[in-house]
Structure 1
Amino acid sequence: MNRGLTDYWRAFRSFSSGARLYLWHTMLGSVAWSMVTLLLNLYLYSLGYRQDFMGLVNALPAAVTMALGLPVGGLADRYGYRAFLLAGSTLTAVSGIGVALAAAPGAILAWAALSGMGGTLTWVIGTPYLASQSDEANRMELLSVNFALMTAAGFAGSLLAGQIPQRVAAVLATDPMATGPLRAGMLAAGLLSTLAVVPLLRLPPEPWGAKGRARALSSLAGAGWLPDRQEAGLFARILVPAALIGFGAGVMVTFFQIFFRLRFGLEPGQIGVIFAFTSVFNAVASLVTPLLARRMGKVRTVVATQLASIPFLLLLTFSYDLRWATVAYYARSALMNMGGPVSMAFALELVAPHRRATLSSLEAMLGSLGRGGLGPLVSGLLQVRGGFEPAFTLTTLCYVAATALYWWFFKDAERPQGLTTAMASTSKAAPRGKAATSTVERAGAGSEKNSA
């Protein structure tokens, strides 16, 4: 443990100024995002909308990501990340305030689409930016700290999201589940999203310049926008398990606040406390994961933690006792997400550096299609017709299949012969002397948006 803390301290001291500013953005933005995660469906429910409309609202940003994700990744690989991050964060803040003020279905959907534009820019670019600000010696620690900040900031966000409606309701002498108190919480989240833009304004200029940009464009001229056949095989092995996890998460994770409200009758403040402590457990788990990965290997760490979450997922699905459901919720969330930074680092090291944003964009597109698109739509329909059990059971099947495929694809990737194969598959994409090395969340792009 002492060695692990020493490694973290040494890595933290080596983080660049750009990485540290991005971590501030992560912390502020994650507080806001956690508030929206808890309040959005409750807010829509207070306006009289059912789960099927909630699924549509959660699905629309995914459609935008599907349309824009690949072009954004390709442009960012060529022209740098800073401007894309700044534009995406600004759009996210504006759309958050817009949703909070909207009530008509058309207006809500329009703001949700704008949110998808902002999310596409930040989700796709965030992870490649951190990769560009790190090296193999400190990349896993940087990604783990970033993920831990996301989840730890969720503690504050969940508490705020639960307490603001309670306090506003007390002042207005109304129900905390009424539209007014919930709207106040959504507006507070929008203001915090605005603050999250400030650190990005101070990001140092990227080392492009006229000569640097010319060299980059020259080196990419023969690579094309899309991966070649050999790269495509590697991309498929990375993306298929991630897509299954994203779909399974969309079926279940998007509806947790409604689950606790309808099954156990909890108020926003009580749901906020549950969500807050989940963030603490997730943060601690994500910091422990690199220590496990150095002992067990990255692939085995991801597979073991995801499989260990399945019994708790089933307990959560079929339990009608709040105590057991809460314990299962904590354990499932921590175990399922703790391998995220490890698998993210693994994927980024397998692909050539000039393909990182492309991979991130493809993963964001597939993750958004599942987590924010098809998953919520399918789940909403299943819940309206059969309750939570069939929906959450579908999630279990997706997670088991994804974990089995991940093991099948990468079980030998950290052995010498597996490493040789992985490097050979990327040798054409990487410049001479810079082939990716295999040293291993899911959900590459913006893991806070793609947590399982």
Structure 2
Amino acid sequence: MGLQGLKSWIIMRRDEKLLIAAMSVNGLIFGSSQLVNPLYLKDLGLNAALIGLLIAGQMLIGSFLSIIFSTLGDAFGRKKFAIINRSISIVGFLLLFLKFPYGLLIVSLMSGGGLTGALLAEKSLNLDKNMSLSYSISTFLSVIGSLLPMFIKLRYIILLNLFIVLISLSLISLIKEDYKGGKLDFRLKSFKNVMKLSFESLVGLGAGLILPIISLWFYLKFAKTAAEISPIFAISNGILAVSTLFSPKLSRHLGRVKTIVYTHIIGIILLILLPLANSFYLASLIFILRNTFMNMTGPIFSSFVLNLIPYDERARGQSLINLIDSIPRSFGPFIGGYLFYLGNLNLPFFITAVLYTISTIGFYLFFKDVK
């Protein structure tokens, strides 16, 4: 390796670390938001149906921003649009902190996933390992995020999340981007694979029915406060973080597709059992196990997707998958919230289990022969 090659390797390793840190620190937000946002909106006077509608709007707007920014990022460089995306989220969190609930609509942090994923794929020497490490650190940090309502008022958690996004933005700004796009192109040579992967949108619809408002479900079913629910989310995320580290080893043993399918099947069975639990502690245990099995293969799936999509299409390809997933997912919180409003706390779980089952079968049939 010459001097130039050594220099490139050092830069690549540095940028890998920066990107992993920039993606991982968001775990604090993800850990708190699922618990905090629905209950904070409730404190602002919104009912369950309106809370579901607002969260649905956030997902839908974020999805469209994702495809726009990712298409522009593939053409003109991903770094600058990842920074713009986070800047918009900072404004959204500020509006939320100022008690303007509709600020949630432009908290679009998730819509930058295609951009940062493509940047990490560009820089990574071992994408599976880096994805797994990023997911694991993010999930460990989400444990802390889940515990915040025990010590900090919901409103000030919103303010803390604003500063976390600012940290993520700062880390991305330090990255040296090597990718050169060159032209705006809405075509996808990988369109066929993207459409197959988009079958996962059924998971999006199912997940949207319950996951964004699961803290509200615990509150309505067991009359538990955010502080009482908080440790359950923290334990769940902690166990998930550990299991995520082992997912690459499981993948090497079983193969990526079988690993994803087998863990999803266990997660679906637990999902069916969750609404049938007649105590808070039993429901909490099932919730923790379901979260682990359903999500431990997240980095494996992300790596699988990035390896199926050509280098110059990764940001918009992944974002198109996210868009097709998020459109039905965005309707989920409204439907789930409305059913909760009517007093039906079980049906959303059973609908989700059916959708997960169809999606898992489809994924296996489409990709069982992919090595």
Q: TM over 0.5: same fold?
A: yes
Instruction: Report the counterpart of residue 171 of structure 1 in structure 2.
Output: none
Residue 112 (str. 1) matches residue 108 (str. 2) = no
1:395-424 C-alpha deviation (Å, 9 max, x unpaired) = 11111111000011011112xxxxxxxxxx
Q: Percent identity?
A: 24
Change (3 A) 1:233 1:89: same
Structure index of larger Rg: 1
Q: In 2, are the aligned partners of 1:15 and 1:142 still within 8 Å (CA)? A: no
Instruction: Report the counterpart of residue 235 of structure 1 in structure 2.
Output: 194
Matched ranges for 1:56-205 at <5 A: 56-102=53-99, 107-109=100-102, 111-116=103-108, 118-120=109-111, 122-135=112-125, 138-165=126-153, 182-204=154-176
Deviation at 1:186, TM superposition (A): 2.1
- Which residue of 249, 253, 260 maps to 1:291? 249
Tell me, in whole angstroms, the C-alpha distance in 2 between the residues paired with 1:354 and 1:201: 21
Tell me, in whole angstroms, the C-alpha distance in 2 between the residues paired with 1:96 and 1:304: 38
Matched ranges for 1:336-351 at <5 A: 336-351=294-309
Change (3 A) 1:14 1:283: farther
Residue 394 (str. 1) matches residue 340 (str. 2) = no
Tell me, in whole angstroms, the C-alpha distance in 1 between the residues paired with 2:243 and 2:34: 21
Instruction: Report the counterpart of residue 280 of structure 1 in structure 2.
Output: 238
Tell me, in whole angstroms, the C-alpha distance in 2 between the residues paired with 1:413 and 1:295: 15
Q: In 1, are the aligned partners of 2:188 and 2:317 still within 8 Å (CA)? A: no
Q: In 2, are the aligned partners of 1:259 and 1:388 still within 8 Å (CA)? A: yes
Please give the TM-score of this superposition, normalised by the length of structure 2: 0.92
Q: In 1, are the aligned partners of 2:24 and 2:135 still within 8 Å (CA)? A: no
Deviation at 1:160, TM superposition (A): 1.4
Q: In 2, are the aligned partners of 1:33 and 1:189 still within 8 Å (CA)? A: no
RMSD: 2.0
- Which residue of 332, 357, 361 maps to 1:375? 332
Deviation at 1:360, TM superposition (A): 1.3
1:310-341 C-alpha deviation (Å, 9 max, x unpaired) = 22111212112122111100110000001111
Q: In 1, are the aligned partners of 2:62 and 2:107 still within 8 Å (CA)? A: no
1:340-389 C-alpha deviation (Å, 9 max, x unpaired) = 11121112111211111121111221232233x11111111222224220
The aligned amino acid for 2:101 is I
The aligned amino acid for 2:162 is G
The aligned amino acid for 1:324 is L
Q: In 1, are the aligned partners of 2:267 and 2:294 still within 8 Å (CA)? A: yes
- Which residue of 35, 38, 46 maps to 2:35? 38
Q: In 1, are the aligned partners of 2:34 and 2:213 still within 8 Å (CA)? A: no
Structure 1 unpaired stretches of 5+: 1-12, 166-181, 415-452
Q: In 2, are the aligned partners of 1:251 and 1:379 still within 8 Å (CA)? A: yes
Q: In 1, are the aligned partners of 2:140 and 2:238 still within 8 Å (CA)? A: yes
Residue 17 (str. 1) matches residue 45 (str. 2) = no
Deviation at 1:270, TM superposition (A): 1.8
Structure 2 unpaired stretches of 5+: 1-9
Q: In 2, are the aligned partners of 1:65 and 1:364 still within 8 Å (CA)? A: no
Please give the TM-score of this superposition, normalised by the length of structure 1: 0.76
